[in-house]
A and B are shown apart, each in its own frame.
Chain A
């Protein structure tokens, strides 16, 4: 087995530098889907999550519990739900979006929302209450306070984004159900690894795993550097 790992690493290097179209296609789909869904989720979840963190209102505890529950929502179940919704005999079947990257984006978008929402909420709530009072007493209205708190919790918010992205790119259950692992179209790192393992191509599977880990590492490193810079 260790031999296979070493061979896998060598194979990974070869695939990357020979610009193997299949591997680069998989990289492209994985990143397009994961980044788009995470960005889109951030666009929706960040304002809502931070707003929940900002205000005190009735039912806040219940909403918090709900978000926390959905943070651990099983991706496979999400995949199944989206399948049923997009299935031809389902409510959105007319769109014909099943087995497309759009379907994968929708599934991962919904999976990322509670993660980003929860971290944004927690980040806003963890800001020093004295800072909140100071900003308010300087005359900030709610929107200005919100923006100020966002700026102060940039680090945690980026961390939440990273977690959501990490989950999206390494997720397999939902994307294989709604994407269908179609070659050139909806095949991602993870679904490809599933396929290669099934076909007994362990070397290729390990190579893809190595590439996935390396690229995720680079992305994380970049974002962590950004995180350090925003301070």
Chain B
């Protein structure tokens, strides 16, 4: 069952001269419980507005937002508060309340009617987790931007909502805070009861966290699908240009004692990656780092060589995309039109593809 359904949402703002600016039009999608749904799009595409509409912070011009099959448009103020309490909303540029870090983080619990003695432990735990230990009594407004973002994230995570709305939270974060954000998101994703809707303009972030991705351009959704669909088969030029191309594979990583490298099993395919990771992983290989040949390569230093056949060819001016199927997986490979002609690569040609272990990026 869908947790959230967005039906035909349309939003326009009115300027001073009463002329309308259409921010979102004809938006339709649904999100399942436990899913991580990512909205990707350039700045000004309407991501923030869409998240605000879902967070009940604004009203659409028309359309429906269904949560557990209940339409959230036109509900009473009281009900709206009750639904908002099931959500949280973290924004790119956080605003904190003009009080201590502790009180900021505790606020969500306090407004839900918890007494201060009851939430001490929870708040302290999240302060510890966010690396804010020792800053509890500081005024949150006196913190640096990164610390403030941590407070803002902690503020929303402590209330443990059903649905997390994250609006470009990773933008402007330094590596230390990115790591913390990553820990938080991973912690939510482990909990199958929690749902995330997140917006970003960073394709890698989308690949990393998304179960499904919606591409938003100029107020309209151009494509919705699993990450590998979006990144290997973009529906239109905008999507292709904006997200770029990536081969995305899902597998189980095991550490090979002999080499000290991860062996990732994807059905019958085993990929070696320059990493020590284990467990379920998501793997990215950029199409231009994959080599292709008609004969099995000899004396190659490439650790990964697979035999397959060309399933499809897309010509894009002087470069072209080849879709090569190796057993269960499809790989997108970019080569120049000239080398394709030289190699006489046609549909159904038998080929060998290879790539370095260092080009295998584990997310």
The interface of chain A, by Cβ under 8 A from chain B, is: 128, 130-131, 133-142, 144, 148, 151-152, 231
Contacts and interface: CB of A to CB of B under 8 A. Distances in A.
B24 to A, nearest CB: 17
Contact of B91 (A128, A130, A152): A130
B85 interface: yes
Contacts of B70: none
Contact of B57 (A128, A133, A142): A133
Given A139-B84, A141-B78, A141-B81, A134 B108 contact: no
Interface in B98-134: 98, 107-108, 111-112
Interface in B57-87: 57, 77-78, 81, 84-85, 87
Contacts of B88: 137-138
Given A131-B95, A136-B84, A138-B88, 9 more contacts: A128-B95, A134-B95, A137-B88, A138-B156, A139-B111, A141-B77, A142-B81, A144-B111, A152-B98
Q: Which 9 A-B pairs have the closest CB atoms?
A: A137-B89, A139-B85, A138-B108, A141-B81, A140-B111, A130-B95, A144-B111, A131-B95, A134-B95
Nearest to A55: B77
13 contacts: A130-B93, A134-B89, A134-B91, A137-B84, A137-B88, A137-B156, A138-B107, A138-B108, A138-B155, A138-B156, A139-B159, A141-B81, A152-B98
B108 A139 contact: yes
B95 A137 contact: no
Interface residues of B, number: 27
Contacts of A142: 77, 81
Contacts of B81: 139-142
A47 to B, nearest CB: 17
Interface string B137-158: 0000000000000001001100
Nearest to B52: A133
B46 interface: no
A151 B98 contact: yes
B235 interface: no
A102 B94 CA distance: 50
A146 B53 CA distance: 22
B111 A141 contact: yes
Residue among B81, B87, B93, B108 with most chain A CB within 10 A = B81
Contacts of B94: 134
Contacts of B78: 141
B287 interface: no
B48 to A, nearest CB: 10
Contacts of B87: 137
B343 to A, nearest CB: 56
Contacts of B108: 138-139
A137 B52 CA distance: 9
B278 to A, nearest CB: 37
Contacts of B52: 133
Nearest to A154: B98
Given A133-B52, A133-B57, A133-B89, A138 B111 contact: yes
A130 to B, nearest CB: 5
A147 to B, nearest CB: 10
B97 interface: yes
A138 B95 contact: no
A66 B94 CA distance: 37
A144 B108 CA distance: 11
Contacts of B91: 130, 133-134
B55 interface: yes
Nearest to B89: A137
A128 B91 CA distance: 14
Nearest to A140: B111
Contacts of A231: 98
Nearest to B94: A134
Nearest to B152: A134
A46 to B, nearest CB: 19
B134 to A, nearest CB: 23
A138 B52 CA distance: 13
Contacts of B155: 138
Contacts of A148: 97
Nearest to A130: B95
B144 to A, nearest CB: 18
A148 B108 CA distance: 12
A144 B96 CA distance: 16
A136 B57 contact: yes
A202 B307 CA distance: 109
Nearest to A133: B57
B103 to A, nearest CB: 11
A23 to B, nearest CB: 43
